[in-house]
Amino acid sequence: MSVEAHVHYEVVIGLEVHTQLRTESKLFCSCRVRYGDDPNHHTCPVCLALPGALPVLNTRAVEFGVRTALAMNCTVHPRSIFARKNYFYPDLPKGYQISQYEEPLATNGWIEIDGEEPGGRSFAKRIGITRIHMEEDAGKSIHDAAVTGGGSSHVDLNRAGVPLLEIVSEPDLRSSTEAGAYLRTLRQLLRYVDVSDADMEKGHFRCDANVSLRKRGEKEFGIRNEIKNLNSFRYVEDAIRIEIERQARVLDDGGRIIQATRLYDPATGKTRVMRTKENADDYRYFPDPDLVPLALEPAFIERARLTLPELPERRRIRFESDYGLSAYDARLLSVSRSLADFFEAVVAARVPAKMAANWILRDVLQALKEREQEIEETKLTPEALAALLGLLDGGRITAKSARELLPELVDRGGDPTELVSVRGLEAVSDSALIERAADEVIAAQPENVQRFRAGEEKILNFLMGQVMKKTGGKASPGAVREILARKLKA
Ligand code: ADP
Ligand code: MG
Ligand code: ZN
């Protein structure tokens, strides 16, 4: 039995997420935000905090923060404060990080999550957002001997000063599955509002997980442990599960939990203590004397509100009602904004919604999966897919030919009508040709013809398949069915 389903304890989880904002330049200077460039190329006196250099706030980052906060139903504060969080670390040689502490950008929001536990119990609930604040990222330490030559570590400060949002949830999550659902919903939202790539694998989206247990029915929360710097969905879920089991064992044995910060090691599948509360860091926060309080005019917040797109939840519901799609299909189609836009553009080009949904969810998604691409990274345009489906719907090509052409449209693009004629894929509705093929099949399959005539109607499909084969898959299925049925009944 999984400990999460433990009868004695209730699991309590709160997540802190750091996500990198997709701005051109850093939070307080004009250095570019770029990855993969030579180390320490994007630095200046401001992000290195050299004496006399003064930070200037990036307006775009503030816009992104406000847009995110509104999408997460938060109250955006007209006044917030940038503070110095003081600590030294090799990747933070300036000795402090500019963050927000006592007066953050936004507070008190929520998002909706849903999903299903491995055991089958489904959940749909609101998770509170305690606060959203802005801060700068630190640099990066490089220990990889392949880079350093071994025996030393390097520091790359290209990332120092890159804008981050920290999003802190209420302790409303009750299992690792709920935590995973929360993170996926959050990532989807960040991508919809177009402020962050929120790519965990690239370190754009990092998570600290706070986990505690309490006896069922108890009012007070238990003592929490915080697992730092989880950088994949798998790791978050695994680390939480492992931590729950560890705490349950301690409590079962009559022990007590000591508040600590832990690190998860995916190699051993264990968490280990990084520091305990007794020696918790004291960051000596104070308002950054180089920065005035951030004052947001109501008009600025309203402008940000106007730039919000239709959010995934709304869009999913509208897909169901406007296009008569199933809840399942509507959810899959609204998974990303680009896919949802693509679907609507195909429908706008006069393809029946059901047909567009079926082809996108089966054939297009399959092609994307094989190529590990997003729809916008391919050469497939909504117009081209609409044209292809138009040819299919009009009987000009068969489904088999449409399926054959799709990968080409995905990889190289082009005009489906032209491709069909160049490749000679026009559906054969030339009845003389189909009649001949049908006669041949009837002659070659006396036994099956007999069974059909004896009342086994489903044999017709098999015989149709044989005729299609003879015509190289190009015969229009309607014509084949009609001709074959007529001949068989004769
Ligand atoms: P800190 O900055 O010291 O980590 P915060 O007050 O910012 O402290 O809380 C961090 C996170 O811990 C929040 O997401 C909150 O929901 C969560 N949390 C607080 N108490 C508990 C608890 N007893 N069990 C699990 N999570 C908790
Ligand atoms: Mg914390
Ligand atoms: Zn700089």
| pLDDT value for 1 | 41
For the CA of 259, the nearest ligand = 1
Per DSSP, what are the bridge partners of residue 85? 97
429, pLDDT greater than 90: no
Which residue among 224, 226, 256, 274 is best mutated to probe the pocket of ligand 1, counting the most ligand atoms within 8 A of its Cβ? 224
300-325 tens-digit pLDDT: 999 999 999 999 999 999 999 999 99
User: Does the Cβ of 169 fall within 6 Å of ligand 1?
Assistant: yes
φ, ψ for residue 129 (rounded to 5)? -105, 115
**Does residue 39 line the site of ligand 1, with CB under 6 A?**
no
Q: Of the residues 16, 178, 225, which should be mutated to test ligand 1's pocket, given the most ligand atoms within 8 Å of the CB?
A: 16
Q: 13 CB under 6 A from ligand 1?
A: yes
Task: State the average pLDDT over residues 268-293.
Answer: 87
**Atom 2 (ligand 1) nearest CA:** 16
Which of 15, 172, 210 has the most ligand 1 atoms within 8 A of CB, as the residue to mutate?
210
Question: Is the predicted pLDDT of residue 114 greater than 50, yes or no?
Answer: yes
Say if residue 37's pLDDT is above 90: yes
Among 20-34, 192-206, 233-247, 277-291, which is the least confidently predicted range?
A: 277-291
Which range has the worst mean pLDDT, 129-133, 204-208, 272-276, 472-476?
472-476
Looking at the chain, the domain(s) classified CATH 1.10.10.410 span: 431-489
Residue 403 corresponds to which tokens in the numbers above? 């399926």
Which pLDDT score, from 0 to 100, does residue 356 have? Answer: 98
Closest CA to 167 of 196, 124, 205, 133: 133
Do the Cβ atoms of 406 and 417 come closer than 8 Å? Answer: no
Give the ligand 1 atom nearest the CA of 280: 3
CATH of 431-489, one of 3.30.2130.10, 2.40.30.10, 1.10.10.410, 3.40.50.300: 1.10.10.410
* Ligand 1 centre distance from Cα of residue 110 (Å): 16
- Report the relative pairing of strands 75-76 and 260-265 from DSSP bridges: unpaired
Closest CA to 2 of 122, 143, 177, 263: 177
d(CA 269, CA 249) in angstroms, rounded, equals 16
Rounded to whole angstroms, the Cα distance separating 185 from 198 reads 11
Report pLDDT digits (tens) over 181-201: 999 999 999 999 999 999 988
Please give the pLDDT value at position 280. Answer: 61
Cα dihedral 421/423/427/430 (nearest 10): 80
Which tens digit of pLDDT belongs to each residue from 202-249?
A: 888 999 999 999 999 999 999 999 999 898 999 999 999 999 999 999
Cα(160) to centroid of ligand 3, in Å? 8
Instruction: Return the sign of the alpha-carbon dihedral for residues 384, 388, 393, 394.
Output: positive
Ligand 1 lined by 221 (C-beta under 6 Å): yes
